[in-house]
Amino acid sequence: MKSRFALLSLMGKSGALTKIHELVREMPVSRVMTTSPATLSPDDSMQDFQALLRKLRISGAPVVEDEKLVGIISIEDLIHAMETGELSHAVREYMTTGDLIVARAQEPVMEALRRFERTGVGRMPVLNPREKLVGIITRGDITEALLHALQELYAEAEEIQSQPQHFFEALESESTNLLLRYHVEKDDFARGGDASAKIKQALLRIGASPKLARRVAIATYEAEINLIIHTDSGGFILADIQPDEINIVAQDSGPGIPDVELARQPGYSTATSEIREKGFGAGMGLVNIDRCSDEMSMWSAVGVGTRLQMKFDVSPEEARIK
């Protein structure tokens, strides 16, 4: 089980304090208060109040007359009434009136918290700008909101921690790899790029960074187009995905390249004008592969075929979704 302290320190990094700070300073009382609280009329009896306390398990209530707050009645007032045996008397006789301690719906929770501290009251009726009672707030409401925010932060922090540091982190073996194989048809321009797009998608799905997925896809795409343009009968692409490196092989069985070094020169091409019209064959494909991969090697023999191998290093940052 993960240590809560580790999570807390992580939360510190993700700005937990800032978030709680924001909550207390910026969140208005209206978001935290209990809306439409139970109220009493000044003409209700203390017995009515007692029944209300019992029914709702509360410890006090605002007293309202003509939609205006006229007093607050609490459990202490009820005890007082009980002592004098006057439970049939009106709430009006026991409630606190005058300079009532209230909260404003629009003020920040921080202000309400300060007022609780300063006055020692247990609850405050909440008034809107037109002095109408819209809710009631207790210290408990604020605590609950804070706990809720903390819970969300914990969930966030846990999610950050559970993200993979490298591919297949959850799988244990001496060596793990995922093999993806695609056949590429000669002259199949319409589907050209299909294999590369699928490899890119697979990488993104297992958690590769978009940057890593892009450079693998671009290099593979160039290799795929080469198989379509230059081979006798197409070829295949094999992607071998390992926790710390990706190897892609594009292989065909002919015609083979007479001079591999020459073929690697920028701008060198044997493509027909028809291919060039399609936007390829400008002699930049291998240059592009070289640039996108960390290692590239090409073997070819006329009459046998060509094997292009590309290696991509996976750094911990690249293996993780940003």
How many angstroms separate the CA atoms of 231 and 64, rounded? Answer: 89
Nearer to another protein, 58 or 284 (CB): 284
Nearer to another protein, 141 or 222 (CB): 222
Would you give the distance in Å from CA 118 to the centre of its chain?
Answer: 39
| Closest distance to another protein from the beta carbon of 159 (Å) | 24
Should residue 288 be labelled a site residue for another protein when binding is judged by CB under 8 A?
Answer: yes
Work out which of 291, 304, 313, 316 binds another protein, going by CB under 8 A: 291
Which DSSP helix (H) or strand (E) runs through 245? Answer: strand 245-252
Write out the binding residues for another protein, residues 183-202 only, by CB under 8 A.
Answer: 189-190, 192-193, 196-197, 200
| Closest distance to another protein from the beta carbon of 68 (Å) | 49
Side chain identity, residue 75 = I
Contacts for 181 with CB less than 8 Å, ≥ 6 apart: 236, 237, 238, 239
State the helix-helix crossing angle for 194-205 and 210-230, rounded to 10 degrees.
160
Should residue 209 be labelled a site residue for another protein when binding is judged by CB under 8 A?
Answer: no
Should residue 312 be labelled a site residue for another protein when binding is judged by CB under 8 A?
Answer: no
Write out the binding residues for another protein, residues 252-271 only, by CB under 8 A.
Answer: 262, 265-268
3-state secondary structure 161-209: HHCCCCCCCCCCCCCCCEEEEEEECCCCHHHCCHHHHHHHHHHHHCCCC
Nearer to another protein, 125 or 285 (CB): 285
How many angstroms separate the CA atoms of 150 and 20, rounded? Answer: 8
| Closest distance to another protein from the beta carbon of 309 (Å) | 19
Nearer to another protein, 18 or 201 (CB): 201
Nearer to another protein, 30 or 269 (CB): 269
Please work out the total of residues on this chain that contact another protein, with binding judged by CB under 8 A. Answer: 29
Question: Which residue, among 216, 221, 199, has the nearest Cα to 285 in the 3D structure?
Answer: 221
Helix and strand element counts for the chain (H, E): 12, 11
Tokens of 207: 């958690």
Should residue 285 be labelled a site residue for another protein when binding is judged by CB under 8 A?
Answer: yes
Should residue 161 be labelled a site residue for another protein when binding is judged by CB under 8 A?
Answer: no
How many angstroms separate the CA atoms of 292 and 59, rounded? Answer: 70
Nearer to another protein, 52 or 287 (CB): 287
Nearer to another protein, 171 or 190 (CB): 190
Site pattern 215..254 for another protein (x: CB under 8 A): --xx--xx--x-----------------------------
Would you give the distance in Å from CA 232 to the centre of its chain?
Answer: 49
Binding interface with another protein (CB under 8 A): 189-190, 192-193, 196-197, 200, 210, 214, 217-218, 221-222, 225, 262, 265-268, 278-280, 282-285, 287-288, 291
